[in-house]
Amino acid sequence: MAGVAARRHVGNLVSPPFYRFVLGPARRRRRAANTSLMETERWPFERQRALQEQLLRRLLAEAARTSPWYRERLPGEADLAHFGLDDLRRLPILERKDLQDHVEQITGTGRLASGVGENQSSGSTGTPVRIYQSREYFVWHAAETFRGLLMCGPIHPWTPRAYFWGNALQSREHRGLSGTVHDIMVNTLWFDAFSLRRDTLPETLRRLRAYRPRLIVGYMSIVMEVARALDRPLDGLDAIQTTAETITPQDRSVIESGFGAPVFNRYGTNEVGTIAQECHLHDGLHVVMENNIVEVVGPDGRPLTTPGAEGDVLITNLRNFATPLIRYRLGDVVRLGTDGCACGRGSARLESVIGRTSDIIVSPAGVLLHGLFFLKLFYGAPVLSFRVDQETPERLRLRVVPAARYSDEVRQRITSQILAHGDPRFEVVWEIVDEIPRSAAGKYRVTVNHVPRVTVARTETTPPAP
């Protein structure tokens, strides 16, 4: 593992000037957004709400101009000029099915602007959607992501980090000579979260120890698998940031005891970026009020305000003008927290995220398949929602709610990708259903593993470093 250790040493030398003199000047907008977020997070709650109101009026005016969908649903220009946060509840809720069926109408001419990119939902509810995102969104998303890392401890952009992340496309960018050079320049060690195998975990752990990251970022269930395999904490690790799934107190205990560092939970989606992030006090999650308006509503659609109340999340993203998302129902369930925090940040808080969960699917060959692996396979497919159940080590049952263009070709394409990229020994069974229900606890589950867990405890065999 001398090569991995040397890579970190070189990264520590070249990454600081690379960020200061190359990336820094090239990212002026992002630097300005970073500076703004570091200031506004200390604003009192009411001042942050005033900023939200200002940004909301700008968003609604732009949506009325570019989106045929919203032009029919928003009040007139005179009313929009005085539109307040409390008026938001008068607008209709945007459902995921609306996005699936009418994304081009909702987007309108917004997708023609410079710097617009296409993205897809993170799929925590098993209902994939496609959207467009504007240049301003990407700038502020990058800034909120970095601020979230800062909430994990005193770090710099060049702090050594390890990621358990990505899909085939993202991971491809970290392979080969160009990928290695890029990762050294930004001081990052990348592990493809969709290619981890139980029989290669010891090698993964050796690379991780040799690199000695100060921060680890990854999908919660993947990070927990790695934590279970560690026989002692990692030297020099300051924090772990987990995301993509609900984290329970038991999950947190496993990860913290395995790695020997505190866990910081981040709640976000591909559609709207970071929604809320835990601070060092670990007393709920701070809402990113500068970028998103978060409403929590009951079954009747009315906003809930009492701390501890549980309801569905509606998001209005204030930075994306390409596909405006106004009162967008994510499909997640959260519990409201109190406003303000002893850390000094004035934002609203969520007590916890209680409606996102997925199991790791373990293939017959030991490949660890995260729920997001299956989301990528269903991206663009004519299905309204789906769930994957592992009934035996070899058998997967895919339950789908089909859309109009669903066909045998869709099943064959996804099945072939599961066999090619997951495991050829899988038996894939398809089942058409009318609805994908929540669990008894009210959670959506993209993947459910019914196979009794085989403990993968302590796979390391190398002695501690002297």
Q: What is the pLDDT of residues 209-226, one digit of tens each?
A: 999 999 999 998 889 889
Share of the chain above pLDDT 90, in %: 65
- Mean pLDDT on 244-269: 92
What pLDDT does 439 receive? 61
Q: How far is CA 202 from CA 199, 205, 209, 277, 395, in A?
A: 7, 5, 11, 31, 27
Q: What is the pLDDT of residues 287-300, one digit of tens each?
A: 999 999 999 999 88
Residue 265, H or E segment = strand 263-269
**2-42+135-356 in CATH: which number?**
3.40.50.12780
Measured CA to CA, the distance from residue 275 to residue 287 in angstroms comes to 6
Alpha carbons within 13 A on the beta-carbon side of 105: 12
Q: What is the pLDDT of residues 156-196, one digit of tens each?
A: 999 999 999 875 556 678 888 889 999 999 999 999 887 88
Q: Does residue 430 register a pLDDT over 50?
A: yes
| Residues in CB range of 4: below 8 A, 6 or more apart | 189, 207, 210, 211
What pLDDT does 125 receive? 54
User: For the chain, what's the residue count?
Assistant: 466
Parallel, antiparallel or unpaired: strands 292-297 and 239-243: unpaired
Domain edges within the chain: 2-42+135-356, 358-449
**Global pTM value:** 0.83
Q: What is the pLDDT of residues 313-350, one digit of tens each?
A: 999 999 999 999 999 998 888 999 988 899 999 999 99
| Residues in CB range of 76: below 8 A, 6 or more apart | none
What pLDDT does 455 receive? 44
Alpha carbons within 13 A on the beta-carbon side of 359: 16
Using CB atoms within 10 Å of the CB of residue 39, give its burial: 0 to 12 exposed, 13 to 18 middle, 19+ buried.
exposed
Q: Does residue 440 register a pLDDT over 80?
A: no
Q: Does residue 463 register a pLDDT over 80?
A: no
- Mean pLDDT on 384-409: 92
Q: Does residue 96 register a pLDDT over 80?
A: yes
Torsion of CA 99, 105, 110, 111, to 10 degrees: 70
What pLDDT does 445 receive? 77
Asked, colleague to colleague, whether 2-42+135-356 and 358-449 share their fold, the answer is no
Class of domain 358-449 as given by CATH: alpha beta
- Minimal CA–CA distance to 174: which of 151, 161, 192? 192
Measured CA to CA, the distance from residue 8 to residue 121 in angstroms comes to 33
Q: Which pLDDT band, with edges at 50, 70 and 90, does 244 fall under?
A: confident
- Mean pLDDT on 40-69: 97
- Mean pLDDT on 234-262: 93
- Mean pLDDT on 235-256: 92
Instruction: Count CB-CB contacts under 10 A for residue 229.
Output: 19
What's the N-to-C CA distance of the chain in angstroms?
A: 15
3-class secondary-structure state, position 276? strand
Q: Could you tell me where the beta strands, DSSP code E, fall in 270-309?
A: 273-278, 285-287, 292-297
| Residue matched to tokens 């929602």 | 385
What pLDDT does 170 receive? 64
In angstroms, how far is CA 38 from the centroid of its own chain? 21
Contact 7, 120 (CB under 8 A): no
